[in-house]
Every structure is written in C-alpha cells, then in structure tokens.
A and B are shown apart, each in its own frame.
Chain A
Amino acid sequence: MTAYAIRRFLSLVPVLFGVSLLVFTFIHLIPGDPAVVMLGERATPESLEKLRKQLNLDKPLFFDVEAAIEERSITALFKSQYFSFVGRILRGNLGESIFTKVDVATELRARFPATFELSVGAMLIALLLAIPAGIMAAVRKDSWLDLSVMTAALVGISMPIFWLGLLLIYLFAVNLHWLPPSGRLDVGVDLNPVTGFYVIDGVLTGNLAATGNALKHLVLPALALGSIPTAVIARMMRGAMLEVMNQDYIRTARSKGLAERVVIWKHALRNAMLPVITVIGLMFGTLLTGAILTETIFNWPGIGKWLYDGIGARDYPIVQGGTLFIATVYVIINALVDLSYGFFDPRIQYR
C-alpha cells in the first residue's frame, strides 16, 4: 500500500512537468504580450522593446543558444524564460502579477479558500440530494419516483450552469430578495479571516452572524455549481445500487430473511458506495478547478475568474502559477481517490 502510494505520487511528477510546459507554451502562443497590454493605446516600437526588456520578455522562450555559444557554457543555454519560470517554481516562488505586483501565492491564499468553500458547498448540496434520491430510485426501480428522479437528474446535467445561475439570481435575489445576488459576505459584516473559509471563520471567532451571512451568500452559487454533480452522483448511485442488489450475497441476505431495510442500508449501500466515492472525488476535483462561469456570474472572488482575467491581460505569472497550482491540486485529488479504493474496499490489493 505505502509503496503503491509513493509510486502513485511519483507518477505525478512527469505529468506536472508536462503541465508546466503546456501552460508556458500556450500562454506564449497567445498573440500580444503583457508589454503590449500595459502600454495600451500609445505604445511605440521603442517603448515596447524597452518594457519587454524590463519585464524579461526579451529572453528566448526555451533555450538561449546565443548565450550558450557566446559564454561557451551549457548552463547559459537555460537562461531562458521557461527555465527561469521552472527554476522559480522549484524554489517555491510562483512569481508576482506583472500588472498589480501582487504575489501569485498571496492571491492564491486569498482566493483558493473562496473556490474551495464554494466547491464544498456545491458538493454538500449534491450529496444531500443525490445519495438519498439515487438510493430510493434504485430501491423502487421503474416506479414514478425512479422516473422523476432520473428525469430531474438528466435535466440537471443538461442545463448550462451560467444560465441556471442567472435564473437563480433573477428569482431569489432580484425579485424575492431572499438571498444576496453576489459576493461572499455583506460589507457591513465584520469578520476576521482565520482560515479564509468564511463559514468556518465565523464559527472559530464566535461570530455566528457572519457564518449565517456567509452561508446566505453561498447558497445560490453552490446550487448552480452543484447541479451537475447532483445529477451525476444520483445516476451513479442508482446504477451502483442496482448492480449490487443483483449480486449473490444480497440474494443470500434476503433469503436469510433479513429485513429489506437492513439489506439495503447495511449490505447493499456499503458496497455500492465504492464507485460513487470515486465519482465524488473526481467531481470534486472538477468543481475546484472548473468554476469559472459560476464565479463570473456570482462575482465570487475565487481562482477561476482570476485566471480567466489573467489570460485576458496576458499576465503570464498569474496564468502560469495559477494553472500549475490548479493542476497540482487536481492530480493530487485524483491520486487520493485512487488510494481511497484500498481504504473503502480492503479486497483491493495494490501491487
């Protein structure tokens, strides 16, 4: 098990190396560069050249062949933009925004909790709705309940999130005034951030009003973002339950005269959870990294919106550092999901 875990995590290294390469290549393929964006309306070729030099954008992208020949050294070959980026990352420095001079790490520390809180909210809503719904649909297969749960789930995965978000805002914020339309906290609410997760911070600092306020802000975006996981998990849960209930040991349990409730909750559910947990893990990874549209609609100060704006501004450090961070989180979650098989199902042996 431990050996497998180590191997699994080591296998992330080449993937993350590839990610760094891909991000770097992509962002430099995008036409225009930060110097152009920064100088804007009144740029001249000279001022552009000067600024590029200042921002170290005049160095070669991958290999500085010229310098290597000139200085007769192999190490000079790596005085390029890519290797200085990788070098910085390895030293634990994600760089700073070209435009705002804010450290990428500082932005991540402020924004990742926002994204994380939203993802957790979405996932909680999904689990609360989907698992009971999936189980009931499986138990009463082909009943009207099954049909409506499955239809609702299909509708859930068929809705564009940004559209659902707009509808929710229109209905619950603009018209009914039940919930706030955007942001994480009312301005009037004072909260001392401890962890950056406002709901938790409120509890930690004994400020339950703030927790309540943060929860109110969380409901709509979490509902919108949670629509797809809810649907996927409900379908998965139902499928897994049906599969398990056809197995011999369930039939045995039934024939032993165990109550249906016990059969379902004790025997079937436990075994059906394995594939569902996998999906939950994978879905959570996706939520953490893919909330750009939800964050845009609800003006949620998370990572997605920030990265998207970073691409628009050609803010290389933001896009490079931010994407690498997101990818790291994502592959680590996936690895953990893999490893959790062993935890939930001791029959699985890792080689």
Chain B
Amino acid sequence: MATSEAYMRTPTQQAWRRFKRSSSGKAGLIIVGLFVLLAILSPFVMPYDATKDRNLRERLKPPSVEHVMGTDELGRDIFTRVIHGSRISLRVGVFAVGIAVIVGTILGLLAGYFGGRTDMLISWLVDIMLSFPSILLAIAIVAVIGPGISNAMIAVGIVQIPIYARLTRSVVLSLKEQDFVAAAEGLGAGRARIIFRHILPNGLSPLIVQATLSIATAILDAAGLGFLGLGAQPPQPEWGLMISKGFLYFTRAPWISLFPGVAIMVAVLGFNLLGDGLRDALDPRTSR
C-alpha cells in the first residue's frame, strides 16, 4: 500500500519533491517569503508616516547604533524607509507582472489558437514592441500617462506583454497538435472551452516560471523609472527613488544610495532564485 502510493504521486507532488531538492529554489522561497512578510507586517510592527517624517537636526548621519543604515537628507532613518519600501516594490512587481500575464496570455492564446490573420496582426504588434528598447518604451508610456507609481507599474507591465504573448503562442502551437486537444475538438467542445479548459492549464508551468522571473525584472525596471524621477514620487520610500536622491549627496553620504540598492538586489535575487527553483520543479526538461 505504502509503496503503491509512492508510485502514484500527482504531478504537483512530483514537482514539489523536485522543488525541495533545488537549493536555489529553497533559498529563493525563504528570501521571497521574508520579503512578503516584511511587506505585510511592516505597517503593524513599525508604523511609519512618510508624509510627516523629518528631523532636520539629524541630517546625513552615517550608520550608527541608533540608525543602522544612517539618515538621509531630511534626517529620516533609512532603515525604516528601506523596510517600508518593500511594500511598494512587491506591489509594483506583482501588479506589473499581473498586467503583462493577463494581456500577454490572452494575445498569445488568440494568436496561437486562431492563427491566420489574427496571428499575423498580433505577431506584428509583438515584433514592433520588441524592437523598442524596453526602458525607452516604459519611459515613453510614463511620459504619456504621467509619472507616479501606479503609472510606472502599468508601463513596466505593458513592456513585458510581448514576452507572454510569445510564450503562450508557442505553447499553444505545440499543444494544439496534441491528442487531448484534438479529442476535445472531436467531442465538439467550444473554442473558448478548449482554450481555457484544455490548453491553458497545460501550458501553465512555463508561465509560472516566467512570471516569477518577471517580477524580478519588473522590480528592477520600476526602480529604474523611480531613479529617473518617473516612478514613485516623494516622500514615498521607493528604493529606486531613494537611490536617485542619494546621487546628489553621494560624495558625502553614500549610505543614502547604498542600502536601498542592497534591498533591491536582495529582493530581485530572491525572485530570480525562486524562478530557477520553480523551473527545476515544473519544467524539468529545460533545466540541466
């Protein structure tokens, strides 16, 4: 009985087993977990109101016991702000990728399943978007819809749409020819039903892996926009914005820029590790 159970694992269980074996996956899960926890708990554990925070007497103080990451140009404690910045970056990452996945997947499904003119049109759009440098495209979008964290999120999301459109399209194309889809079609299932019940779930693994890695990219891109002054606006403790403000003081007070950068790096690293781990688990063929 016990042995037969071992042989009859569901795909999910198999994936979980592979994931547990992946050290990068575990490390990533821990970092991302901490990051999410920080984002959720920080307002309760360490209440902070960025709109009122100022201490002009304590400006530009280097790291000390009192301020472990030093203070910035308004005398604010950088540690507090870095911690609270996690909320912004996490939200940006998740929402931007959400936009990209939803829009991109729909476009990819349409292109892949219907082919013909639909495919040509969508592929044309995707090719156009891909021939722009992504940061330039994001800058242009923000220039049109105005700066701010929500708009930066949208811009970063739009820029990533082509990735998902292409990915989904290729998955659909490879699945379309397979037996279970043909069977469903033979049984007279509607097109929408085939797409959402049969094709989409089977193509989910690469999507999940890509989405995790995309969150990393999205956090970096949003920080880049913040650095250019197009993303989050002061006094929000957004990491990219904090780095750019530190630029003015960087010969005198390098810690202003240093620590938010470390935070970005660790968060992005977490998602990259997690993405690698998920790839090992969900898509064993492509790894090693």
Contact = CB atoms under 8 A, between A and B. Distances in A.
B133 interface: yes
A105 interface: no
Interface string A1-37: 0000000000000111011001000110111000000
A179 to B, nearest CB: 16
Contacts of A158: 216, 220, 264-266, 268-269, 272
Contacts of A29: 144
A57 to B, nearest CB: 17
- Tell me if B's interface is mostly helix, strand, loop or mixed: helix
A115 to B, nearest CB: 11
Contacts of A342: none
Contacts of B227: 160, 162, 293
B136 A307 contact: yes
B273 A160 contact: no
A212 interface: no
B240 A292 contact: no
Given A160-B265, A292-B133, A18 B128 contact: yes
A67 interface: no
A124 interface: no
A250 interface: no
Contacts of B244: 162
A160 B218 CA distance: 11
A289 B133 contact: yes
A191 interface: no
B261 interface: yes
A158 B218 CA distance: 11
B25 interface: no
A334 B246 CA distance: 38
Given A19-B128, A167-B261, A154 B133 contact: no
A323 B251 contact: no
A290 B138 CA distance: 11
Interface stretch (A75-83, A325-333, A343-351): A325-333
Nearest to B239: A160
Interface residues of A, number: 47
A258 interface: no
Contact of A331 (B131, B146, B264): B131
A31 B128 CA distance: 23
A286 interface: yes
A15 B124 CA distance: 6
B125 A292 contact: no
Given A26-B140, A174-B251, A293-B224, A160 B243 contact: yes
Nearest to B120: A14
B243 A290 contact: no
A136 interface: no
A174 to B, nearest CB: 6
Interface in B126-182: 127-128, 131-136, 139-141, 143-144, 146
Interface in B64-97: none
Given A18-B127, A30-B143, A160-B223, A166 B132 contact: no
A286 B133 contact: yes
A22 B128 contact: yes
B145 to A, nearest CB: 9
A166 B250 contact: yes
Q: Which of B141, B143, B146 counts the most chain A CB atoms within 10 A?
A: B143
A308 B138 CA distance: 11
B288 A242 contact: yes
A292 B261 contact: no
B128 A167 contact: no
Nearest to B269: A158
A166 B246 CA distance: 10
Interface string A270-304: 00000000000000001001101100100000001
A225 B266 CA distance: 19
A15 B121 CA distance: 11
A155 B250 CA distance: 23
B257 A19 contact: no
A26 B128 contact: no
Contacts of A169: 250
A159 B250 contact: no
B113 to A, nearest CB: 23
Contacts of A330: 131, 133
Contacts of A160: 220, 223-224, 227, 240, 243, 261, 264-265
A163 interface: yes
Given A167-B258, A293-B227, A326 B133 contact: yes
A304 B133 CA distance: 10
Contacts of B133: 286, 289-290, 292, 304, 326, 330
A290 B135 CA distance: 7
Nearest to B287: A239
A258 B272 CA distance: 38
19 contacts: A26-B140, A26-B143, A27-B140, A31-B144, A154-B273, A157-B216, A157-B272, A158-B216, A159-B261, A160-B243, A163-B257, A290-B133, A290-B135, A290-B136, A292-B139, A292-B228, A326-B133, A330-B131, A331-B131
Given A15-B124, A290-B133, 14 more contacts: A18-B124, A154-B24, A158-B220, A159-B268, A162-B240, A162-B244, A166-B257, A170-B250, A174-B251, A239-B287, A243-B288, A290-B136, A292-B133, A293-B228
